[in-house]
Amino acid sequence: QNMNIQVEDIRIRAILATYRKRVPVTEGYVEVKDEGTWKQICDKHWTMKNSRVVCGMFGFPSERKYNTNVYKMFASRRKQHYWAYSMDCSGNEAHISSCKLGNHLTGTSKNSSCDNGMPAVVSCVPGRAFAPSSHSGFRKAFRQEQPLVRLKGGANTGEGRVEVLKNGEWGTVCDDNWNLVSASVVCRELGFGSAKEAITGARLGQGMGPIHLNEIDCTGFEKSVTDCKFNTESQGCNHEEDAAVRCNVPAMGFQNQLRLSGGRNPYEGRVEVLAERNGTLRWGTVCSHNWGTVEAMVVCRQLGLGFASHAFQETWYWHGDVSADDVVMSGVKCSGTEMSLSHCRHDGAHVSCPRGGGRFGAGVSCSETAPDLVLNAELVEQTAYLEDRPMFLLQCALEENCLASSAHNTSLTSGYRRLLRFSSQIHNNGQSDFRPKNGRHAWVWHDCHRHYHSMEVFTHYDLLNLNGTKVAEGHKASFCLEDTECEADVQKQYECANFGEQGITVGCWDVYRHDIDCQWIDITDVPPGDYLFQVVINPNYEVAESDYSNNVMKCRSRYDGQRIWMYNCHIGGSFSEETEQKFDHFRGLTNNNVSAR
What digits encode the pLDDT tens for the residues 491-515? 999 988 878 889 999 999 999 888 8
- 530-553: per-residue pLDDT in tens? 999 999 999 889 899 999 989 999
Any domain includes 595: no
Same domain, 410 and 547: yes
Same domain, 443 and 307: no
What mean pLDDT do residues 23-44 have? 91
Same domain, 465 and 519: yes
- Of 225, 248, 271, the one marking the end of a domain is 248
Any domain includes 200: yes
Residue 6: C-alpha distances to residues 51, 190, 503 (Å)? 17, 29, 49
What mean pLDDT do residues 216-225 have? 93
- 157-166: per-residue pLDDT in tens? 999 999 999 9
User: How many domains does the chain contain in total?
Assistant: 4
Give, rounded to a whole angstrom, the gap between the first and last alpha carbons of the chain: 63
Any domain includes 592: no
| Angle formed at CA 516 by CA 511 and CA 522, multiple of 5 degrees | 110
Comparison of pLDDT for 244 and 102, the residue scoring more = 244
Any domain includes 2: no
Same domain, 527 and 379: yes
Q: What is the percent of the chain where pLDDT is above 90?
A: 53
Same domain, 563 and 466: yes
Supply the range of the domain harboring residue 319.
254-367
- Of 313, 334, 367, the one marking the end of a domain is 367
Any domain includes 526: yes
Same domain, 227 and 315: no
Same domain, 153 and 184: yes
Same domain, 244 and 258: no
Residue 330: pLDDT above 80?
A: yes
The strand ranges marked E within 57-112 are 62-63, 85-88, 100-104
What is the model's pLDDT at position 449? Answer: 67
What is the model's pLDDT at position 110? Answer: 55
Any domain includes 176: yes
Same domain, 417 and 563: yes
Greatest mean pLDDT among 447-451, 472-476, 497-501: 497-501
Nearest to 100 by CA among 117, 87, 115: 87
User: What 3-state class would DSSP assign to 185?
Assistant: helix
Residue 579: pLDDT above 60?
A: yes
- 34-72: per-residue pLDDT in tens? 888 999 999 888 999 999 999 999 999 999 999 888 998
Is residue 121 within 8 Å of residue 66, measured between CB atoms?
Answer: yes
Any domain includes 24: yes
The strand ranges marked E within 439-572 are 444-446, 451-453, 455-464, 475-479, 485-486, 508-512, 520-522, 529-537, 552-559, 564-571
Is residue 170 within 8 Å of residue 550, measured between CB atoms?
Answer: no
Which CATH number is 308's domain given? 3.10.250.10
CB neighbours of 452 closer than 8 A, spacing ≥ 6? Answer: 440, 443, 444, 445, 446, 480, 496, 499, 502
pLDDT band at 143 (very low <50, low <70, confident <90, very high): low
What is the model's pLDDT at position 18? Answer: 82
- HSE at residue 291, side-chain half, CA atoms within 13 A, is 27
The separation between CA 75 and the C-alpha centre of its own chain, rounded to angstroms, equals: 44
Any domain includes 508: yes
- Of 211, 227, 248, the one marking the end of a domain is 248
Same domain, 411 and 509: yes
pLDDT band at 303 (very low <50, low <70, confident <90, very high): very high
Same domain, 401 and 522: yes
Residue 292: C-alpha distances to residues 263, 299, 312, 362, 557 (Å)? 18, 11, 7, 9, 34
Same domain, 443 and 569: yes
Residue 142: pLDDT above 90?
A: no
